[in-house]
Amino acid sequence: MRWIERGWMMIPVAVAVVGVSCGDGGTAPTGANVQFVIGDIDLQAGRDTVVQISNTGGSPIGPIQLVPLPVRDSAGGVVSGPSLQVNPSDIATLNPGATVSAALSVVVPANTPNGDYQVGLEARSQNQLLASALLRFRVTNSTSGPPANSVAITSGPTAFIRGDVVQFTAEVRDSAGTVLPTEPVQWSVGGFGLFDATGRFVSYSTGAIDIIAQSGTG
């Protein structure tokens, strides 16, 4: 097992999806009922999530385009810079009873002002609005202190078995070597397993894996 630490010479941006709402924004073709399936989403310092769209009616519908709208600030004004990326952005056919997942990624430039933002996502077919969702996120630019320069994993086991739940910790430092205790750390694993935002890891398989800790944007 390898430990991999990553740091970025950029102003860290913390973005959290704090809520998603949806509504039926139009009339679907006869026999089709397309809607977003929304769960509780809390990404903390992350920027990615997954939404699901389903057809609860009795007729297939397609093609469907998933169209992100301009990002707006808390006052409702359109802002430049931040955007929402959707993958896949097109669904060829959504059959009755079927559900399709789409990955959403909020892209936030480092110079984006602090504040609350929202962005709409529409499902359309043949220029007809079928359903819509509203994604809210918060931006906090850490401009009060120096940017993160490096990340070091400071504790964690070097071996474990399938099913183990173990804890990893890491330190973020600036270019002078000073610890930045408030900087968030994003954890990921280059193998079969799952991290939560606190560094707790659940092993799903055996073999060599890469434990990755990073901070900032990049």
Can you give the CATH number for the domain in which 50 is found?
2.60.40.10
113 shares a domain with 66: yes
Cβ atoms within 10 Å of 23's Cβ, excluding its own: 11
117 shares a domain with 25: yes
125 shares a domain with 28: yes
79 shares a domain with 60: yes
Q: Which residue in 116, 127, 4, 21 sits closest to 65, CA to CA?
A: 127
pLDDT digits (tens, 9 = 90+) for 157-210: 888 887 888 899 999 888 888 888 777 888 887 667 778 778 888 887 777 788
Which residues, listed in sequence order, are joined to residue 35 by a DSSP beta bridge? 54
Residue count of the chain? 218
Residue numbers of the domain that contains 156: 2-11+144-215
Give the β-pairing of 128-141 and 13-23: antiparallel
The rounded distance, in Å, linking the Cα atoms of 162 and 84 is 36
Helix (H) or strand (E) holding 141: strand 128-141
93 shares a domain with 35: yes
Q: Which residue has the higher pLDDT, 70 or 184?
A: 70
CA dihedral sign, ordered 54, 57, 63, 69: negative
169 shares a domain with 109: no
136 shares a domain with 42: yes
The rounded distance, in Å, linking the Cα atoms of 195 and 174 is 25
Mean pLDDT (the chain) is: 77
Q: Which residue has the higher pLDDT, 145 or 133?
A: 133
53 shares a domain with 74: yes
Report yes or no: 175 and 161 within 8 Å, Cβ to Cβ: no
Cβ atoms within 10 Å of 213's Cβ, excluding its own: 25
| Residue 30 scores a pLDDT above 80 | no
Residue where one domain finishes, among candidates 141, 176, 192: 141
Residue that the structure tokens 């169209």 belong to: 67
pLDDT digits (tens, 9 = 90+) for 153-163: 999 888 888 78
Exposure letters 118-155 (e unless 16+ CB within 10 A, then b): bbbbbbbbeeebbbbbbbbbebebbeeeebbbbbebee
Residue where one domain finishes, among candidates 141, 166, 185: 141
Count of domains forming the chain: 2
